[in-house]
Amino acid sequence: MMEFGLARVLHVLGVVLWIGGVAMVTTVILPAVRRVATPEERVQLFERIEHRFAWQARVTTLVTGLSGFYLVHLMNAWERFHQLAYWWMHTMVLVWVLFTVMLFVLEPLVLRRLFMRTAVRQPERVFTLMQRMHWVLLTLSLLTAAGAVAGSHGWLWL
């Protein structure tokens, strides 16, 4: 039982730091960067700021994922993935996979170079795309967190 409590605590702390950081970047930092910097400087300034957060996000994503799968294992809840009422279990895994691929594969290997190159020619477009991507991920993450809190405390909507 202690393991269950500990895994849950780590899971929620991971989510708080990770998704909280995504909310901060999306609603505060990106709009601020848009206001202070010229289109040419924006992408670089933002990359430099988010670079620091990306490390935090990598650690918290890892903690959330490991504790999450451990919870599924402890609860033996694999069959939930066959039930629509547990859509939030699917979106938890989806959000986690999207961020894991972004943080561990795409961002360091592809996106950074691609953004820097395109940013020289089309700075406005790249920045708008970044902002849009952050809003999409934040919205999906918040819907997921809402569904998971409601669902894991017995409020299933379907």
Q: ∠ at Cα 110 (104, 112), nearest 5°?
A: 90
How many of the chain's residues bind ligand HEM (CB under 6 A)?
23
**Residue 156 binds to ligand HEM (criterion: CB under 6 A):** no
- In the chain, what is the greatest distance between 2 CA atoms, to the nearest angstrom? 57
**Residue 60 binds to ligand HEM (criterion: CB under 6 A):** no
Amino acid at 93: V
| The one among 93, 102, 138, 156 contacting ligand HEM by CB under 6 A | 93
Q: ∠ at Cα 32 (43, 116), nearest 5°?
A: 0
**Residue 22 binds to ligand HEM (criterion: CB under 6 A):** no
d(CA 136, CA 26): 10
**Residue 43 binds to ligand HEM (criterion: CB under 6 A):** no
| The one among 23, 71, 98, 111 contacting ligand HEM by CB under 6 A | 71
Given CA atoms 83, 84, 89, 92 in this order, what sign does their dihedral have? positive
Q: Which residues bind ligand HEM (CB under 6 A)?
A: 8, 11-12, 15, 19, 64-65, 68-69, 71-72, 75, 77, 92-93, 95-96, 141, 144-145, 148-149, 152
